[in-house]
């Protein structure tokens, strides 16, 4: 299907065009705007499936490559391509966008076409981020992404939305401008803006460290890592449900993806020398932020903090590899498993956090509050919904059989090969995660019906059932059968590993 087509360009520009079309359709016919958006996002999702079917696993080479001159004066190329790392993330993006469009169907009544257009345009831009192989092209998409998100939070967000969206924008903007300086400097060294040509330059350690920190500024804010995570709870709480879903499911992953695409291979020596810092920050995220999550009274804030904790696992998996190899140079497979675990965790967290935010959205649409203590006994009135909510909560806690388990387990297992204590601390998350998620579930879903408003709750509609059902299938499927995903990623991650770690 779609062989010989410029699939990646289609995936980038089709949603953007659809978004412009929706914008032009105006506010007078919201129904038309909704349908154009849904059709566009579904078509884009179907096209993106051809990436999966046409993907040649077993190679680390870039696939679906497109290359054209763009800014000829300074040799910037319109160069696209995907490997095993970026392809699943693109699928996650197209999948999440369909859900977001569907989830905003009835809820959004103010400026419908602008809302839908923002998400479609954001989809195209995010796919551009994952498929760009030219540093400037990457940066263009990376920054442009801020515009729609800024508007989504600011226009359709909650009471404190303006503070939240300004904080979101300025944090991420500050992080990324230093990356731009680093990218231009790298072009000066490598003679080209091709990302892959920037690998293995053999720069002196001091330079690498500066570059590493420049990238860290950009990606740590996006991930977000402790202590630059404070924008996320604000942004999540104030964003409309769709915004939270895209933030959690995709945008955070762009930080993780950046570590794999830029930090590790471009500054391997700095990564090796600074891995203690990254591991420490990751473990703090896992444990400390996990504890912070426990005391939250706002459901969205709780899930936001739990996202930070889960993304800590991702960065832990990426940067533990040096310790694994240092402990036993022959044990490369464990190190690669750590990378795989981190990547699987990214995909899984994409599904799980999206699902949890959608669940909170379902409740919020009915009760207009996110406070945990405003609920209680929801299961009595919404049994089907409660089933979904509990399932996703279990996945968030890392229950075996759900997708949440796979990535965490792989990272913990690999950490054991580095040092028992790393693994022990990381494994605390299984307890903490269970504690904060299930405690929330207990207070919200179970027990007696808390008040009259809860008593009047309506069971989820067919639209909501479909959205949550699809996500439930994805979570379970990835949980019991992650092999296809891992097979796709393995060659690329092995290749990455060989570029980053020089084994004696």
Partner 1 sequence: MTFEMPDFSLALPEIWVMFMACVVLVVDLFARGRESAPAFYLTQATLLIAAWLALDTQWGIEAVTFNGTYVADSLAAVLKVTVCLLAFVSFAYGRDYLRQRDLLRGEFFLIGLISVLGMLVMASAHNMLSLYLGLELLSLSLYAMVAFDRDSRSGSEAAMKYFVLGALSSGMLLYGMSMIYGGSASLDFAKIAQVAANGNGGLLLGFGIAFSIVGVAFKFGAVPFHMWIPDVYEGAPTATTLFVSTAPKVAAVALFVRLLVDGLGALAPEWHVMAAILAVGSLAVGNLFALVQTNIKRLLGYSTISHIGFLFLGFVAAGPDGYTAALFYAITYGIMAAGAFGMVILLSRRGFEADRIEDMKGLNERHSGFAFVMLVLMFSMTGIPGTVGFYAKWLVLKAVIDAGMVWLAVVAVIFAVIGAFYYLRVLKMVYFDRLEEDAVPLQAPAGMRYILAANGALIVILGLFPDSLIAVCRAAFGG
Number of residues lying near partner 1 (CB under 8 A): 38
Distance (Å, rounded) from C-alpha 82 to C-alpha 76? 18
Residue 21 interacts with partner 1 (CB under 8 A): yes or no: no
The one-character DSSP state at 373 is: G
Burial 319-348 (b: 16+ CB within 10 A, else e): bbbbbbbeeeeebbebbbbbbbbbbbbbbb
Name the token pair of 128: 């551009």
Distance (Å, rounded) from C-alpha 99 to C-alpha 415? 35
CB of 141 to partner 1, least distance (A): 7
CB of 222 to partner 1, least distance (A): 15
x/- mask, partner 1, residues 58-97, rule CB under 8 A, reads -----------xxxxxx-----------------------
Mode of pairing for the β-strands spanning 63-71 and 76-82: antiparallel
CB of 43 to partner 1, least distance (A): 22
Distance (Å, rounded) from C-alpha 235 to C-alpha 230? 9
Distance (Å, rounded) from C-alpha 391 to C-alpha 404? 11
Contact 465, 382 (CB under 8 A): no
Residue 161 interacts with partner 1 (CB under 8 A): yes or no: yes
Q: Choose, by CB under 8 A, the member of 40, 93, 94, 165 that binds partner 1.
A: 165
Tokens 């690669």, residue located: 336
Q: Which stretch binds partner 1 (CB under 8 A): 173-181, 389-397, 426-434, 458-466?
A: 173-181
The one-character DSSP state at 225 is: P
- Nearest to partner 1 of 135, 410 (CB atom): 135
The one-character DSSP state at 197 is: G
CB of 154 to partner 1, least distance (A): 4
The one-character DSSP state at 320 is: T
Q: Residue 239: which of 355, 353, 161 has the closest Cα?
A: 161
Q: Choose, by CB under 8 A, the member of 104, 154, 290, 377 that binds partner 1.
A: 154
x/- mask, partner 1, residues 181-220, rule CB under 8 A, reads x--xx-xx--------------------------------
Residue 384 interacts with partner 1 (CB under 8 A): yes or no: no
- Nearest to partner 1 of 220, 309 (CB atom): 220
Tokens 């079917």, residue located: 53
CB of 16 to partner 1, least distance (A): 10
Distance (Å, rounded) from C-alpha 416 to C-alpha 398? 18
Name the token pair of 16: 């953007």
- Nearest to partner 1 of 181, 295 (CB atom): 181
x/- mask, partner 1, residues 113-152, rule CB under 8 A, reads -x---------------------x--xxx-xx-xx--xx-
Contact 141, 128 (CB under 8 A): yes
Q: Choose, by CB under 8 A, the member of 65, 166, 470, 477 that binds partner 1.
A: 166
CB of 227 to partner 1, least distance (A): 18
CB of 183 to partner 1, least distance (A): 10
Q: Dump the DSSP string for 251-270.
A: IHHHHHHHIIIIIHHHSHHH
Cβ neighbour number for residue 428 with a 10 Å cutoff: 14
- Nearest to partner 1 of 14, 355 (CB atom): 14
- Nearest to partner 1 of 36, 285 (CB atom): 36
Task: Please tell me the number of Cα atoms within 13 Å of 150 on its side-chain side.
Answer: 12
CB of 117 to partner 1, least distance (A): 10
CB of 388 to partner 1, least distance (A): 33
Tokens 């996703």, residue located: 392
Name the token pair of 124: 């195209």
Considering only residues 246-305, where is the footprint of partner 1 by CB under 8 A? none
- Nearest to partner 1 of 107, 147 (CB atom): 147
User: ∠ at Cα 193 (190, 195), nearest 5°?
Assistant: 85
Site of interaction with partner 1 (CB under 8 A): 23, 27, 69-74, 111, 114, 136, 139-141, 143-144, 146-147, 150-151, 154-155, 161-162, 165-166, 169-170, 173-174, 177-178, 180-181, 184-185, 187-188
């Amino acid at each position: 299907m779609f062989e010989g087509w410029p699939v990646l360009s289609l995936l980038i520009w089709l949603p953007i065009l659809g978004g412009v079309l929706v914008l032009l359709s105006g506010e007078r016919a919201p129904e038309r705007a909704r349908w154009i958006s849904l059709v566009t996002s579904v078509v884009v999702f179907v096209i993106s499936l051809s990436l999966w079917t046409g993907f040649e696993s077993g190679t680390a080479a870039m696939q679906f490559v497109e290359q054209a001159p763009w800014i000829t004066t300074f040799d910037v190329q319109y160069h696209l391509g995907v490997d095993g790392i970026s392809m699943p993330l693109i699928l996650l993006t197209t999948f999440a966008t369909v859900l977001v469009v569907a989830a905003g169907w009835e809820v959004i009544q103010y400026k419908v076409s602008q809302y839908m257009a923002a998400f479609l345009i954001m989809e195209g831009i995010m796919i551009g981020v994952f498929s760009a192989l030219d540093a400037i092209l990457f940066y263009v998409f990376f920054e442009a992404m801020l515009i729609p998100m800024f508007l989504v939070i600011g226009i359709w967000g909650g009471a404190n939305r303006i503070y939240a969206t300004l904080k979101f924008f300025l944090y991420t903007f500050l992080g990324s401008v230093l990356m731009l300086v680093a990218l231009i400097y790298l072009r000066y060294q490598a003679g080209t803006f091709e990302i892959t040509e920037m690998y293995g330059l053999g720069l002196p350690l001091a330079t690498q460290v500066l570059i590493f920190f420049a990238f860290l500024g950009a990606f740590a804010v996006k991930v977000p890592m402790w202590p630059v995570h404070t924008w996320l709870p604000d942004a999540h709480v104030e964003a409309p449900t769709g915004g939270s879903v895209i933030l959690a499911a995709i945008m955070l992953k762009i930080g993780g993806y950046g570590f794999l695409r830029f930090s590790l291979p471009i500054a391997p020596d700095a990564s090796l020398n600074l891995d203690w810092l990254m591991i420490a920050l990751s473990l703090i995220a896992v444990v400390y932020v996990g504890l912070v999550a426990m005391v939250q009274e706002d459901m969205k804030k709780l899930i936001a903090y739990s996202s930070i904790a889960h993304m800590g696992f991702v960065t832990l998996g990426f940067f533990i590899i040096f310790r694994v190899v240092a402990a036993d140079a022959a044990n490369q497979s464990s190190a690669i498993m750590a990378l795989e675990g981190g990547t699987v965790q990214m995909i899984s967290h994409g599904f799980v956090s999206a699902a949890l935010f959608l669940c909170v959205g379902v409740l919020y649409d009915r009760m207009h509050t996110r406070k945990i203590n405003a609920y209680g006994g929801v299961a009595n009135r919404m049994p089907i919904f409660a089933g979904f909510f509990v399932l996703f909560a279990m996945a968030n806690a890392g229950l075996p059989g759900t997708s949440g388990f796979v990535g965490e387990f792989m990272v913990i297992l690999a950490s054991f090969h580095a040092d028992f204590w790393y693994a022990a601390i990381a494994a605390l998350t299984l307890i903490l995660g269970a504690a904060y998620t299930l405690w929330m579930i207990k207070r919200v879903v179970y027990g007696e019906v808390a008040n009259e408003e809860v008593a009047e709750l309506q069971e989820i509609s067919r639209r909501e059932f479909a959205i949550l059902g699809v996500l439930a299938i994805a979570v379970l499927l990835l949980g019991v059968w992650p092999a296809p995903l891992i097979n796709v990623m393995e060659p690329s991650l092995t290749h990455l590993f060989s570029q980053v770690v020089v084994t004696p």
